């Protein structure tokens, strides 16, 4: 159950950044007054939108989850600092609290980023399996294992090159 909750939470956080990035890329004129008010150049709108879009997609598929969640965490803190720093204003104070909650969710993704259900987890499992397989093969060679399985070489696909396949034992 916690796996399902972690995956859904990661996907919802990713959706938040994907939508925000798309809005900045497609409709940068609507975001420009916020950047002018924060004394930031409006030429940063599209690169920030691309960053949010790419980071959201990476977060959704679970690729480089810990790095992306930490970078997004830093971005959210910068967003609070630059855009929602008037905590006495009810709207900006509420937005700052909402962004702080998003930052907390990103820290949870950072902490549990390589859980099952992410590409990072599958990649790490494959690396572990391949390392164990290499170690077992090396151990077998070191012990002088001479009992290799019988292999039948036949031309299965008709291209003139025999393919090696294990001999069937029961049929």
pLDDT tens-digit readout, 85-124: 888 889 989 999 999 999 999 998 888 866 666 777 778 8
| pLDDT, position 103 | 95
- Work out the mean pLDDT of the chain and round it to a whole number: 84
Whether residue 91 is contained in a domain is answered as: yes
Which range among 13-17, 109-113, 126-130, 152-156 has the greatest average pLDDT?
Answer: 13-17
Question: Within 10 Å of residue 32's Cβ, how many Cβ atoms?
Answer: 14
Task: Supply 81's token pair.
Answer: 């600092």
Secondary structure string (H, E, C) spanning 75-128 = HHHHHHHHHCCCCCCHHHHHHHHHHHHHHHHHHHHHHCCCCCCCHHHHHHHHHH
Mean pLDDT of 5-10: 85
Residues 38-97 pLDDT 10s: 889 999 999 999 999 999 999 998 888 889 999 999 999 999 998 888 888 899 899 999
Q: Is the pLDDT of residue 26 over 80?
A: yes
| pLDDT, position 164 | 62
Structural domain total, the chain: 1
Residue of 116, 106, 122, 102 lying closest to 7 (CA atoms): 116
**Residue 168 pLDDT level (bands cut at 50, 70, 90):** low
Domain interval for residue 25: 2-111
Residue of 170, 171, 168, 166 lying closest to 149 (CA atoms): 166
Whether residue 41 is contained in a domain is answered as: yes
Whether residue 77 is contained in a domain is answered as: yes
| CA gap 49, 11 in Å, rounded | 18
**Residue 165 pLDDT level (bands cut at 50, 70, 90):** low
Q: How many residues does the chain have?
A: 171
Q: Is the pLDDT of residue 132 over 80?
A: yes
Whether residue 105 is contained in a domain is answered as: yes
Whether residue 30 is contained in a domain is answered as: yes
| CA gap 41, 48 in Å, rounded | 11
Whether residue 154 is contained in a domain is answered as: no
Q: Is the pLDDT of residue 141 over 90?
A: no
Whether residue 42 is contained in a domain is answered as: yes
Whether residue 98 is contained in a domain is answered as: yes
| pLDDT, position 64 | 87
Q: Is the pLDDT of residue 136 over 90?
A: no
């Amino acid at each position: 159950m916690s796996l399902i909750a972690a995956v859904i939470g990661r996907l919802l956080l990713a959706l938040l950044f994907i939508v925000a990035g798309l809005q900045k890329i497609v409709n940068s004129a609507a975001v420009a007054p916020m950047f002018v008010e924060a004394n930031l150049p409006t030429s940063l709108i599209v690169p920030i939108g691309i960053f949010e879009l790419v980071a959201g997609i990476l977060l959704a598929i679970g690729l480089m989850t810990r790095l992306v969640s930490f970078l997004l965490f830093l971005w959210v803190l910068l967003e609070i600092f630059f855009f929602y720093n008037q905590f006495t204003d009810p709207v900006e104070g509420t937005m700052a609290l909402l962004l702080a909650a998003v930052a907390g969710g990103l820290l949870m993704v950072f902490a549990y980023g390589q859980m099952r259900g992410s590409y990072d987890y599958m990649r790490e499992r494959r690396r572990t399996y391949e390392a164990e397989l290499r170690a077992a093969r090396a151990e077998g060679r070191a012990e002088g294992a001479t009992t290799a399985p019988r292999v039948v070489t036949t031309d299965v696909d008709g291209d003139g090159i025999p393919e090696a396949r294990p001999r069937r034992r029961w049929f």
